[in-house]
Amino acid sequence: SVAQAVKAATKFTPTKDDYQKVYNAIADILEDNDYDDGSYGPVLVRLAWHSSGTYDKNDGSGGSNYATMRFPSEATHGANAGLDVARAKIETVKEKFPWISYGDLWTLGGVAAIQEMQGPKIPWRPGRIDGYAKDATPDGRLPDASKVADHLRTIFYRMGFDDHAIVALSGAHALGRCHRNRSGFDGPWTFSPTTFTNDFFTLLMNDKWTWRKWDGPRQLQDKTKTLMMLPSDFALVQDKEFKKWVKVYAADQDKFFADFSLYFSELLELGVPRAQFVSSEPWIMKSTEEQSS
Ligand code: ZEM
């Protein structure tokens, strides 16, 4: 009937399969030999993290629900420098699937990037809604790389995470690199910045790290002078409680993958009211590899 046709045209309820299509479209835009190390994966992981890590458990503000990085007041925070690149890239997917919210799109971007870069499955479910400029968070909620253990605890405890989670989540620095024109820091953490591994931890434990002599912000370098660590990364082996977990993850990649999956999934849901999620349990999206076999 006409009434049914009108209803169908105005109210589209996406299924898990529709979200799998979005996942696949994101997977499709990751590789690009002209960008960084050949993939937009790392910067999409960073977008997912910064869109979620603004959460404050004390008043429920921030987090991934409203995608407030769309607004200049939040996009211009120093910590978000360079994420315009990630937002512009994933906008090409939004054009094909205009029904998805930005919060869902950006967090699914992080999920697809991790899984496609050989990382663990990240349980994820949709339900975030686009908010308003008034929902944007104040500057200073994301961690400062020039700071150490106390600061990391202040920032991550505010999100509701503990020491174990801080270390597990930090393992994402196996991916990507620092850009002089974004954060001021320079270089990659590992020799395979587009593959998800526990290398961040093995390098942190086993390499000899010395302060780089240069005109940029204080950072460490390995003996080959090609890899880097931030002061905040190095804090993970200077602090006794943190170092326990660094050791565990350096010795056991499977344990790292399992814990990272749990905490990253939790991170991506910060600030989203339970009732908004379309399913009671997160979903496991299929990798492109699984779908082709
Ligand atoms: Zn990062 N991160 N991060 N991070 N991060 C950078 C890059 C990336 C900190 C930080 O200051 C920086 C987490 C935690 C923390 C990624 C993921 C995650 C850069 C370089 C800095 C300075 C930015 C640039 O110049 O482009 C600090 C202090 C953290 C506290 C522990 C967590 C948690 C992450 C995800 C779970 C990723 C993937 C990158 C690489 C981005 C890229 O463009 O290659």
Rounded to the nearest integer, the mean pLDDT of the chain is: 97
Q: What are the extents of the domains in the chain?
A: 2-141+265-292, 149-257
Rounded to the nearest angstrom, the distance between the alpha carbon of 2 and the centre of ligand 1 is: 51
- Among residues 159, 154, 103, 68, the alpha carbon closest in space to that of 272 is found at 103
> What topology does CATH give the domain 2-141+265-292?
Peroxidase; domain 1 (1.10.520)
Q: What percent of the chain has pLDDT over 90?
A: 96
User: Which ipTM did the prediction report?
Assistant: 1.00
Structure tokens at 192: 């395979």
For ligand 1, atom 44: residue with the closest CA: 176
- Tens-digit pLDDT profile for residues 27-82: 999 999 999 999 999 999 999 999 999 999 999 999 999 999 999 999 999 999 99
Helices 83-96, 102-116: crossing angle, 10 deg rounding = 100
Sign, CA torsion 35/173/260/67: negative
Q: Give yes or no for residue 177 CB within 6 A of ligand 1.
A: yes
Q: Which residue's CA is minimally distant from atom 37 of ligand 1?
A: 46
Nearest CA owner, ligand 1 atom 43? 43
> Looking at residue 86, what is its pLDDT?
98
Q: Is 50 a catalytic residue?
A: yes
What is the arithmetic mean of pLDDT over 168-185?
Answer: 98
Task: Answer yes or no: are the C-beta atoms of 234 and 146 closer than 8 Å.
Answer: no
Residue 7 pLDDT greater than 80, yes or no: no
For 1-5, 113-117, 179-183, 277-281, which range has the lowest pLDDT when averaged over its residues? 1-5
Q: Is 217 in the pocket of ligand 1 (CB under 6 A)?
A: no
234 Cα–ligand 1 center, Å: 14
* Choice among 49, 50, 106, 173 that is catalytic: 50
Query: Same CATH fold, 149-257 and 2-141+265-292?
Result: no
Can you give the pLDDT at residue 210?
Answer: 98
Kindly report, residue by residue over 238-281, the tens digit of the pLDDT: 999 999 999 999 999 999 999 999 999 999 999 999 999 999 99
Using one digit for the tens of pLDDT, what is the confidence trace for 126-168?
999 999 999 999 999 999 999 999 999 999 999 999 999 999 9
169 ligand 1 Cβ < 6 A: yes
176: region left, alpha or beta (phi > 0 left; psi from -120 to 50 alpha): left
Domain 149-257 sits in CATH 1.10.420.10? yes
Residues 6 or more apart whose CB falls under 8 angstroms from that of 286 comprise 20, 23
Q: How many Cα atoms occupy the beta-carbon half-sphere of 284 within 13 Å? A: 7
Checking DSSP bridges between strand 210-211 and strand 228-229, what pairing results, if any? unpaired
- Using 50, 70 and 90 to split pLDDT, how confident is the model at 288? very high
Among residues 124, 189, 209, 245, the one annotated as catalytic is 189
Whether pLDDT at 102 is above 90: yes
8 Å CB contact between 261 and 253: no
pLDDT of 8 reads 63
